Amino acid sequence: MSDYVSQARRRWPEAVWIIGNGAYASVAYCGDTSVMLFSTQAEAMTAKEFIDRTACGHACHRRHEIVHLATTRRAANPPEGAP
């Protein structure tokens, strides 16, 4: 397991799934938390923009954000009510 996957599991222990590998996490807090990891911020933003437009599932509340795991800073504005 990669260091980034380990970091993501520690940061979001409630996540129903964590996929990918990389320092940038696209996180959805809609119903169940889900995390997609990417090597670049651009890739993560593309994924987030897609789910912002199309919804991430049946329980989507549009609560999505990008987090940079290497620095644990938010790479984009967090959604209202995000942990």
The pTM for the full model equals: 0.80
Q: What is the pLDDT of residue 76?
A: 53
Q: Give the number of other Cβ atoms within 10 Å of residue 2's Cβ.
A: 11
Q: Give the number of other Cβ atoms within 10 Å of residue 56's Cβ.
A: 23
Is residue 19 in some structural domain? Answer: yes
Rounded to whole angstroms, the Cα distance separating 67 from 29 reads: 13
Q: Average pLDDT by consecutive 10-residue portion of the chain (83 residues)?
A: 90 96 94 93 94 84 90 56 51
Q: Give the number of other Cβ atoms within 10 Å of residue 35's Cβ.
A: 21
Q: Residue 13's domain spans which residues?
A: 3-74
Is residue 40 in some structural domain? Answer: yes
Q: What is the pLDDT of residue 15?
A: 96
Overall domain count for the chain: 1
Q: What is the pLDDT of residue 56?
A: 79
